[in-house]
Structures are given as structure tokens and as C-alpha cells.
Amino acid sequence: MADWLSALNPMQQRAVLHGEGPLLILAGAGSGKTRTLTHRVAHLIGERGVEPWRILAVTFTNKAAAEMRERLERLLGAAALPWVSTFHAACVRILRREIAALGFTPNFVIYDDRDSERLLKDCLEYARIPEQTLNARLAGALIDGAKNKGLTPRAYARGNDQHDGLAAVYTRYQDLLRRANALDFGDLLLTTLRLFEELPDVRDRYQARFHHVLVDEYQDTNAVQYRLTNLLASRHRNLCVVGDDDQSIYRWRGAEIGNILDFERDYADAVVIRLEQNYRSTGNILDAAGAVVARNARRTGKTLWTENPRGDKVGVAALPDDLEEARFVAREIERLIAGPWARREIAVFYRTNAQSRSLEEALVRYRIPYVMVGGIKFFSRAEIKDVLAYLRMLVNPADSLSVKRVINVPARGIGAATVERIAALEEEAGGFLAACRAALERELLKPLQAEKVRGFVSMVDTFTSSLEHLSYPQLTARLIEESGYGPMLREDASPDARDRLQNLEELLKGMEEHAGAERTLQDYLEQVALVTDVDAYDGTVDRVTLMTLHAAKGLEFPIAFITGMEEGLFPHARVSDGDIEEERRLCYVGMTRAMRRLYLTHALRRRVYGDFQANPRSRFIDEIPLELVDAVGPVAAAEARAAEWSPRARGPVGMGRAHDAGPERIEVADGEDGECVRVVYDEDGLRVGSRVRHGTFGVGTIKRVEGAGERQKVTVLFRSVGAKKLLLKFAGLEPA
């Protein structure tokens, strides 16, 4: 134990040695929280004699859980490991044992977002709700949001904040999931909570079992996770939560920053320990990031420090447009990898996925290999989902969605009309596969249709019986061939078909690795259902990494670029004033991913939906003290033409907000017709991104300023009526 403690700083040691009772560890970015958490678990087991099976440790990504398990195995050995998993995986483990009490069977399948969307399309058609009113993607997001708040269909229907028609859709969606013996991601948490709240004997059993509950990334917990955590820990009150309110960036998926901010209200006797020594970043990067997040009002007090060198200043580059911005990033990466840096040590972050296109094109042009995290996930590819649907159908014959997906894939002559005729029996028969058998028994299909359906059912029965004597990788290989899927792709000579065959080979290879650990097909299907974008990231591949800022959380890179640092893009235009603090936290997360060098780039104009927008650089750049930044890259031509330069216009680093700089105009050529856009800053705060008030339309945000003098026009996005183009001299706009 002395050796374990010697590797920790004094505050980490305090956290590890804490005895009984609630503990809040406020762990700043790069402060060694995973090391602290794993050493605390090791201390509980190795020194305090807590049995491993009485400890539950949960986190948010499979990657983080795997890292924690590996560290614990090095400290304790493989035989002494507690429950370490994500929230969702822990809930699946409990549900496999207990869900029969709620009317499901333990072989339930897990639907991902795309599966849910397909099922919701059926629900919307059944309810005859037009797509203009509610589409499947929006319905899925709204239902997921309701589940994150702990709202069942009945509770949602009683609430005041309803979307038209959603209550009925939500009710039918849950009914179809139950019939299919399936759960979606939100159900994994909500159904476990139902188990504990509705069945006292189940709740008592798990409360008695877990003497210690540890939760990583507590700032990311939603309402259901909060209730689950506190319910499990309520008997012994040994709840240790680790997190950083400055890194709470998932409000859009239900995370509640109040869970960590109010921990001391929930547990008045809690011990609070701050981990403020940063081991990741240089002093300049850390100070710059700290200066940005310090502008937030709703945060706990902590100041990160480091013994690392001061390092390079933060590089800030202003480019004429988004294409030049992408080329600057590519050229700078080319220069870096010509020196001591490897491609895998460099990451490029962006606020929205739409920004990746120009970056990808620039990297291709400069022949720089890259990997994109968050593109089409491997397990979301059509050929992979098709094969997995076959397997899910074998494990859970009630999974009608999977049966319908593959009944005519590859094409075997079972058309939409036949499927519809069979589906009429689905509710009575208890599933679509059972309906196929019923339709054949009752001779409801035409002879040719019956022959095709009988062949499909017979194939399913053959594969099902093979489950008993074949390993699931072998079964999958046979299924790909005997279903006709493999032959179909080989007959197609296109490059796309070859890629799809390679993907299936990769699937089989992954299955072999998984089966080598003596896991079952159900285990495998469960694992792939819980895979996230970040879990698929492989840091050993020597390629530049592209990803959104949200996906970057939990990772670190020696060199990082944050692109698109402009008002309206980052912070995003859709963000309300109340949410600007989350955008600032997102910026802080991005900046603290960088270990040695950090670049912030912005474009003076950017093409959006075929039109140019000219937005001022992000306020987050202006919140960094001048002494911590350096202007890098070419001086933007548009700025060089400005007749009168204020500190803000003169270079990429300003002295404060735009209205502090006095009157100025930055002229930017726009479009093939030679029209000029002038982004105007004046004492009245008139600029792109300004909030203004109109006598008739109310409050809005300036999206564009064009022309000059008597003919100057502004495009304003009003909350009440949408976008309006107004002649400025007659608009009567006032700062809002």
C-alpha cells in the first residue's frame, strides 16, 4: 500500500484513504482522477478488507471502464475485481437477472437509435401523424429526453410540456418494444429504476449487496442515473462521486449539472476533496483554458495548477474563409509531422459535424492520413446491421423488427404486400416470425408467396438449431453464405460491394476475438449494442484525428486544433443566453485536451447552406488574456485592407468585446457578383451576432449586415417570425 500511495499527490492520497460516508472528489481536467478512483477501490479491497463483489464502480464509456479494470487488475490481480462498468452495462447485467418480474424474458435485445427510428416510423403511421407534425427522428429524441427525466408514457401524458401527438406515439412505441422483448438505451436505465422502485425485495437485495458505490463523471449523470445512484447507496451511504462541473457538456442528452453542484445539499456530511494539480497540459494552455471557464457564474471554485513547463503560447489564426482555414490547418499539420510529431499525436476539433468536410478535403489534398471519430459507426453500416439482425432474431424470436429487416435481404421474392399480409397477424400471433408460421398454417398466402416464406422460416429454424453445436462466429460465417448475403455481394463487382465484404470479414474477426474469451452470442450482441463512437477510437493508428468537441471528452493529444471559433458557430447560434455557460464549458474541455500545443482558428466568412456568413470571432478567444496568445498563420487579407484598425480588427487577438473597440468596418468580398459584405461594429453594438429589438417583431439576432450608408441592410433572425431582411435606416433597431 505504501508503494501505491507514493505515486499519488497529497490530495489524491486523502481521497484514497477516506473512510466511511459520502465523498465528493472535484477532479479538474488532467488531474489524475482515474488513478485516484482505481487506487481508492484497491485500498478498499486490499487494506480495508471490503469484498470485491460488494463494490460497484460505474462510469460513462466502455473505454473508461476498460481502463479502470485494467488498472485494478495490475494492482489487485484478476481474481479480486469488483463490478466495473458503464451505467448501461451495469443495468443490463441487473436486468438479465431480474427483468422477468416486469414481464420481459432475460434474452431481451437492445435497440440502437436506428432500430428505434424504424419502429417509431411504424408508430407514427399507425397514429396517422404527418411527418410535418412529427417525424421519427424528432419523436425518438423527445422520447429519449422523457426517459432521461424518468418519465414513463403515463407520466409524460400527465405533464404540461407535451409535443403534439407524442404521448400516444410514446405509449405505442413502448408497447411494441415489450412485444418484441426489446429495450432501447433509455429503457436500460429507466427499467432498472422501475425494478428498484416497484419491487422492494429486488431493491433490498442490491442495497444490501453494494457497501460502496463509486461514480465517475458524476457531472454527466441525468435524473434517472441520479436516482439509481442514490437509491443503491442509501443503505450504507458510502457513495463516492468523482467529477468536474467545468466539464459538464451533455445537457442536450439529459445531464444535470445540479447533481454535482448540489451534492453537499444531498449529503450534508460529505467530505469534499479538490484535485487541482494538472498533469496533462502546459502552464500557458492551462491558464488560457482557466481564464475562459472562470467567466461562468455557476461553478464550484477551483484553480488548476501544474508543475509542467509554461510551453508555447496558444496560437490564434484568423483566415479569410473556411476553405483557407482548413488549408492552414493542413499546412500546419504538414509542418508539425515533418518535425518531431507523429500524426496520431494531433487532433482537430470542431463544434458541428458539418465543419468536417472542408477539413477532410484539405487533408486529402495534402495527403495527410486521418481518422474521423463519429462518422458512420461500424456497427451502423447496413451490411453489419443486416447480419446482426439475423443473429438477434435467433437469440430472441420475438424481435419482429429484426425479422422484418432480413425477411427479404438478400432479395428472395417476399415483397412488401406479403409482409403487410403477414403483419396483420402479428399482434395475435405474438410477433412477426410467429405470424409467418400462422400465415402458412392457415394457408393465407398464395402458393408462390407461401413457398418463399416457408423457405425463410425453414432457414431460420436451421440456424436456430445450429446455435447448440456451432460457435457463434462459425454460425455467422455459415449464415452469411447460406442466406445468400455473401454470394449477393460477390456477384456485385462494384467497389462498394467489395468494401461491404471486407466489413463482414472484419465483423467475423471481431467475433473470433470476443468468442476467445468464452463469451456467448447474447454477450456479443449486448456488447456491440453498447459501443459508442469513442470506444471505436484507436489511438495507436498513426493518423490525424478529426472529431467533434463533444466526442473529444476523456481524450488527450499533444497537439490540438479547435476550428470555427466564431460567434454563431461556437458558441452556436441555437444556444440561448441561459446555455452559454455550457458552450463555454465545451470550449474549456476542448482546450484542456491539448498537452503541448493548442491552436484556435476562425474564419472571417464561412459558407453556410450555399451562402456566406461573416461572423466575428468567438467571444471565447477574447476571454483569453493577451499575454497567453500568439497570432499565427497568414494575416487575413480582409483585415489587411481595413483602413482603420482597432485592436480587435488588427489581428486575431483582441482587447475585449467588439463594442469596446469603437467604430470600424471590415470589408469582405462576397459572391460572384462582387457584392461586398461589411461586418459593422459600432458604439450601438450593431454587429453580426448582436441581439436587437424591433418595434413589431420583438427580439432577434443579427445574422448578416450588407451594403453601406443609406442602403445598408441587415438580416435579423427573430424569435417570433423567423428571418427578416430590413433596410437599416428605417428598421428602428435597438440593442436588446
Highest mean pLDDT among 64-73, 121-130, 228-237, 465-474: 228-237
- Tens-place pLDDT, residues 699-727: 788 877 776 555 677 888 887 778 888 87
Scanning 592-696, the segments in alpha helix (DSSP H) are 619-622, 637-640, 647-650
Helices (H), 77-184: 87-98, 113-127, 136-148, 153-158, 166-179
Confidence of residue 657 (pLDDT cuts 50, 70, 90): very low
Question: CB neighbours (10 Å) of residue 428?
Answer: 9
Domains 109-180 and 281-377+531-655 share a fold: no
Residue 669's pLDDT is what? 32
Closest CA to 28 of 347, 268, 300: 300
**Confidence grade of residue 635 (pLDDT, cut at 50, 70, 90):** low
Check: CB of residue 42 under 8 Å from CB of residue 4.
yes
pLDDT beyond 50 at 219: yes
Task: Report the alpha-carbon distance of residue 52 to residue 84 in Å, rounded.
Answer: 10
Contact status, residue 718 vs residue 698, Cβ threshold 8 Å: yes
pLDDT at 672: 31
In this model, does residue 649 exceed pLDDT 70? no
Active site residues: 33-34, 216-217, 247, 593
Residue 644 has pLDDT above 60, yes or no: no
The CATH-assigned architecture of domain 378-529 is Orthogonal Bundle (1.10)
Q: What is the CATH number of domain 281-377+531-655?
A: 3.40.50.300
Greatest mean pLDDT among 160-174, 182-196, 669-683: 182-196
Which stretch of DSSP H or E encloses residue 273? strand 271-275
Gap between the terminal Cα atoms of the chain? 61
Whether the per-residue pLDDT at 659 is higher than 70: the answer is: no
Burial of 673 (0-12, 13-18, 19+ CB in 10 A): exposed
Beta strands 314-321 and 698-706: pairing type?
Answer: unpaired
Given a cut of 90, whether residue 639 has pLDDT beyond it is: no
Higher pLDDT, 635 or 208: 208
Q: Are 226 and 219 in contact (CB under 8 A)?
A: no
Q: Are 72 and 41 in contact (CB under 8 A)?
A: yes
Decide: residue 437, CB within 10 A, 0-12 exposed, 13-18 middle, 19+ buried.
middle
One-letter amino acid at 246 equals D
User: What are the C-alpha distances in Å from 150 to residues 90, 140, 153, 200, 225?
Assistant: 18, 15, 10, 18, 9
Question: Residue 63: what pLDDT?
Answer: 86
Verdict on whether the full-model pTM lies above 0.85: no
> Distances from the Cα of 592 to the Cαs of 176, 293, 315, in angstroms?
44, 11, 14
Average pLDDT over residues 637-658: 34
The CATH homologous superfamily for domain 2-96+191-277 is: P-loop containing nucleotide triphosphate hydrolases (3.40.50.300)
* Range among 68-77, 246-255, 429-438, 655-664 with highest mean pLDDT value: 429-438
Q: What is the pLDDT of residues 511-542, one digit of tens each?
A: 887 887 667 898 889 888 887 766 767 777 88
pLDDT, tens digit, for every residue of 438-448?
Answer: 999 999 999 99
- 184 pLDDT tier (thresholds 50, 70, 90): very high
State residue 482's pLDDT score. Answer: 93
What residue ranges do the domains of the chain occupy? Answer: 2-96+191-277, 109-180, 281-377+531-655, 378-529
What is the grid cell recorded at 537? 477510437
**What pLDDT sits at residue 302?**
83
Give residue 689's pLDDT.
Answer: 67
Average pLDDT taken over every residue of the chain: 86
Confidence of residue 496 (pLDDT cuts 50, 70, 90): confident
Fold type of domain 109-180: Arc Repressor Mutant, subunit A (1.10.10)
Q: Which of 522-536, 626-640, 671-685 has the lowest mean pLDDT?
A: 671-685
Q: Which triple of cell numbers denotes residue 211? A: 457497501
Q: Stretch 172-176: mean pLDDT, rounded?
A: 95
**E strands, 352-449, in order:** 370-372
Give helix 356-365 / helix 322-337 axis angle, nearest 10°. Answer: 50
